[in-house]
């Protein structure tokens, strides 16, 4: 089965989550060598799973193993309300790789009773539980029940709220308990002073900050023989099994350098790996494996583990290539101050890919576009790789069709038709512009610290890339390049972007809460700034007690996006922390409680899950009678809980934690 049909895209649905299945187009037709490369890289993408669980929470694996033991061994009635609530909790914890919501970062509120949990754990044979020496199941159950049920224990995984000590109020496991934000910032400021200012390594990226016996701070590095070394060794084994099937010598060098980084933990080696990885553009199979994104650290230094494997989508790649071939034209015509433009725009490679395996922080919730590496100097000197993950986008689009969102929230029939006609195409193109050109555009002024925007850096960076895409999607150049059919198409993107930023993205946020996540802050910032500054172009109107986005002048909107792009680029280029703070705090954080409540109510009636994630395909080696590998099969029949439990058994990377 190559294509996953519409009926099988939609899988299990619970809480605010919907699981989807994605197909890997063309896998069966690949030569055996490429199939084996994918197989072993996929193994490497799964072996780091336990690392992420420990990064997200100091007791992540302890909780997972205990909850799974209850889930697998429960033999009471299945219609018991406590059991049903427990099953949903288990599935949510799997989805988040921890006990906090993957998006809001707030701890889940369990809907089963403490008594039920204690009773089920105490029933289990001690050999099934991750007990400490001398600990009884009762003691373990009490210890975990405090974490699960007491709201004041670990309430939030990542806290980015202005004003508080971000480390003391975040429960992620990147800093040992008791280390303050000021201490950590001073520690890394000290390291930064000693490091190369022109080509700074990603300081702090691959370690947990801890306090030594004498009270000083020190890094416990994630490497072979160090913290998480056991899982890292298994990742290296899988990478080395993939190596003989690499498509070219550079791909082999990428694997070798990554393994060497995993063994030493040396950040210089990581930079070498990134450079080799950017330069390797010939292979059809590609992968990322390691400590990559920093959204899980309130200080934006420590990177969560992720792994993914992909294969090129040749058809869609042609579209992205048309953009990157013209990268310099886009840079030269951008509305930003010429001082902030890149004089030579190079290395923006553009490839559309299909995901073949998602792991770590990309599983089950995944990004649909990836732009790496994150190091600014490597991006400036060597460029970056930008990819759009076409098969995941396709699965999202199929799931969205017929959901009723458009009928409820789009202002009129004509706008609905606009979105039906151009929506999918423009969404893809905006993602391409964001990833292939937006993130790669612009430059910092000499001497500006890349981390100057601190906690606001991620939001501003996403806003910059989105604005670049919004500004250019309306440019006649895209019609000229054959990427859009006509000058009307961009309007669908403008409408749907503002609708999302002003109204519909609120459905993902619990009432009483504010916007926390960087991409959501960015979309609110852009939309609400535009609403405030360009009332002649866009407004919010009320009809029969319901609010709608009304666009009055699409051409003016383009001017608005251009103006804000220029300002956001200035903030980034000059490292203007105060301006970033004001922009984000003024437009990107707070919600209007009445509007929020109305939107949530209208949305609830549609009964759609706001968050989606993916079930991976399963790859299996096929042997002949003599034991030779003759093929790699791909199957799409594993259920969500089966997959999670299999991963826990099969990729049990950290026995000690
Ligand atoms: Zn982005």
Distance 442 CA to ligand 1 centre (A): 14
Residue 6 pLDDT: 46
Whether 161 has a pLDDT exceeding 50, the answer reads: yes
Residue 315 pLDDT: 66
Distance 640 CA to ligand 1 centre (A): 28
Q: What is the mean pLDDT of residues 329-334?
A: 94
Distance 131 CA to ligand 1 centre (A): 42
Whether 607 has a pLDDT exceeding 90, the answer reads: no
Residue 100 pLDDT: 98
Domain hosting 65: range is 10-156
111 falls within a domain: yes
Distance 511 CA to ligand 1 centre (A): 26
Can you tell me whether residue 298 is helix, strand or coil? coil
Q: What is the mean pLDDT of residues 118-131?
A: 95
pLDDT per residue as tens digits for the range 528-567: 999 999 999 999 999 999 999 999 999 999 999 999 999 9
Distance 250 CA to ligand 1 centre (A): 27
Whether 2 has a pLDDT exceeding 60, the answer reads: no
Q: What is the mean pLDDT of residues 488-495?
A: 98
74 falls within a domain: yes
Instruction: Using the Cα atoms of residue 209, residue 655, residue 45 and residue 49 in order, give the sign of their dihedral.
Output: negative
Whether 117 and 111 have beta carbons less than 8 Å apart is answered as: no
101 falls within a domain: yes
For the chain, helix (H) and strand (E) counts, in that order, are: 25, 14
Confidence band for 347, pLDDT divided at 50, 70 and 90: very low
Strands (E), 222-326: 285-293, 304-312
The rounded radius of gyration (Å) of the Cα atoms in the chain is 24
117 falls within a domain: yes
Distance 387 CA to ligand 1 centre (A): 11
Residue 5 pLDDT: 56
Instruction: Report the percent of the chain where pLDDT is more than 90.
Output: 85
* Residues contacting residue 69 through CB under 8 Å, at least 6 positions apart: 121, 124, 128, 129
Residue 402 pLDDT: 62
Distance 656 CA to ligand 1 centre (A): 35
Four-CA torsion 110, 111, 117, 120, nearest 10 degrees: -130
Distance 591 CA to ligand 1 centre (A): 23
Residue 143 pLDDT: 95
Whether 622 has a pLDDT exceeding 50, the answer reads: yes
260 falls within a domain: no
Residue 349 pLDDT: 61
pLDDT per residue as tens digits for the range 235-255: 999 999 999 999 999 999 999
130 falls within a domain: yes
Instruction: Using the Cα atoms of residue 242, residue 247, residue 248 and residue 251 in order, give the sign of their dihedral.
Output: negative
Question: Structural domain tally of the chain?
Answer: 1
| Sequential DSSP letters for 550-611 | EES-HHHHHHHHHHHHHHHHHHHHHT-HHHHHHHHHHHTT---HHHHHHHHHHHHHH---SE
Whether 627 has a pLDDT exceeding 50, the answer reads: yes
Q: What is the mean pLDDT of residues 338-357?
A: 82
501 falls within a domain: no
pLDDT per residue as tens digits for the range 379-402: 999 999 887 798 998 888 778 766
pLDDT per residue as tens digits for the range 3-37: 455 457 889 999 999 999 999 988 999 999 999 99
Distance 493 CA to ligand 1 centre (A): 17
| Sequential DSSP letters for 88-114 | HHHHHHHHHTSSB-TTT-BBP---S-H
Q: What is the mean pLDDT of residues 474-494?
A: 96
Distance 434 CA to ligand 1 centre (A): 6
48 falls within a domain: yes
């Amino acid at each position: 089965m190559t294509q996953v049909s519409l009926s099988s895209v939609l899988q299990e649905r619970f809480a605010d989550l919907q699981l989807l299945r994605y197909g890997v187009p063309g896998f069966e037709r690949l030569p055996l060598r490429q199939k084996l490369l994918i197989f072993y890289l996929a193994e490497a993408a799964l072996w780091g799973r336990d690392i992420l669980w420990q990064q997200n929470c100091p007791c992540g694996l302890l909780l997972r193993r205990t909850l799974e033991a209850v889930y697998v061994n429960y033999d009471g009635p299945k219609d018991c309300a406590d059991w049903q609530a427990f099953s949903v909790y288990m599935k949510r914890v799997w989805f988040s790789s921890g006990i906090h919501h993957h998006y809001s970062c707030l701890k889940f509120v369990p809907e089963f009773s403490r008594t039920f949990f204690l009773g089920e754990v105490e029933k289990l044979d001690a050999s099934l539980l991750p007990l400490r020496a001398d600990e009884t199941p009762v003691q373990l159950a009490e210890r975990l029940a405090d974490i699960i049920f007491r709201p004041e224990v670990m309430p939030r995984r990542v806290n980015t709220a202005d004003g508080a000590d971000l480390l003391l109020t975040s429960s992620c496991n990147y800093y040992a308990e008791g280390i303050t934000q000021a201490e950590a910032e001073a520690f890394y400021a000290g390291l930064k002073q000693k490091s190369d200012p022109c080509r700074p390594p990603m300081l702090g990226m691959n370690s947990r900050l801890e306090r030594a016996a004498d009270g000083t701070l020190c890094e416990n590095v994630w490497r072979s023989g160090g913290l998480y070394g056991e899982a890292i060794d298994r990742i290296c084994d899988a990478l080395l099994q993939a190596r003989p099937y690499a498509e070219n010598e550079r791909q082999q060098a990428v694997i070798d350098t990554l393994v060497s980084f995993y063994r030493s933990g040396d950040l210089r080696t990581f930079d070498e790996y990134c450079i080799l990885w950017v330069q390797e553009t010939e292979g059809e199979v590609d992968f990322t494996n390691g400590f990559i994104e920093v959204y899980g650290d309130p200080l934006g230094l420590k990177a969560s583990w992720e792994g993914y494997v992909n294969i090129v989508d040749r058809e869609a790649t042609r579209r992205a290539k048309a953009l990157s071939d013209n990268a310099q034209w886009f840079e030269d015509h951008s509305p930003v101050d010429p001082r902030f433009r890149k004089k030579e725009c190079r290395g923006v490679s553009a490839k559309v890919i299909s995901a073949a395996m998602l792991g770590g922080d990309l599983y089950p919730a995944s990004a649909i576009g990836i732009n790496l590496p994150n190091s600014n100097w490597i991006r400036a000197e060597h460029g970056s790789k930008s990819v759009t993950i076409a098969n995941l986008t396709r699965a999202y689009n199929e799931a969205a069709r017929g959901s009723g969102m458009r009928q409820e929230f789009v202002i009129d029939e004509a706008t609905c038709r606009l979105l039906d006609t151009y929506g999918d195409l423009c969404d893809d193109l905006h993602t391409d512009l964001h990833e292939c050109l937006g993130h790669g555009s612009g430059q910092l002024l000499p001497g500006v610290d890349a981390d100057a925007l601190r906690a606001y850096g991620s939001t501003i960076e996403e806003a910059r890339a989105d604005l670049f895409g919004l500004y250019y999607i309306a440019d006649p150049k895209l019609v000229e390049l054959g990427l859009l059919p006509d000058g009307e198409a961009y309007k669908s993107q403008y409408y749907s972007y503002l609708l999302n930023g002003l109204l519909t993205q609120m459905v993902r946020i619990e009432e009483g809460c504010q916007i926390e996540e960087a991409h959501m802050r960015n979309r609110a910032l852009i939309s609400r700034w535009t609403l405030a500054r360009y009332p002649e172009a866009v407004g919010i109107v009320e009809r029969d007690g319901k609010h709608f986005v009304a666009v009055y002048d699409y051409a003016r909107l383009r001017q608005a996006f251009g103006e804000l792009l220029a300002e956001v680029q200035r903030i980034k280029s000059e490292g203007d922390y105060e301006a970033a703070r004001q922009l984000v705090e003024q437009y990107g954080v707070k919600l209007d409680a009445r509007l929020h409540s109305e939107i949530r109510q209208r949305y609830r009636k549609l009964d759609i899950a706001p968050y989606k994630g993916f079930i991976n395909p399963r790859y299996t080696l096929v042997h002949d009678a003599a034991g030779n590998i003759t093929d790699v099969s791909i199957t799409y029949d594993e259920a969500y809980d089966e997959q999670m439990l299999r991963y826990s058994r099969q990729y049990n990377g950290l026995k000690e934690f």
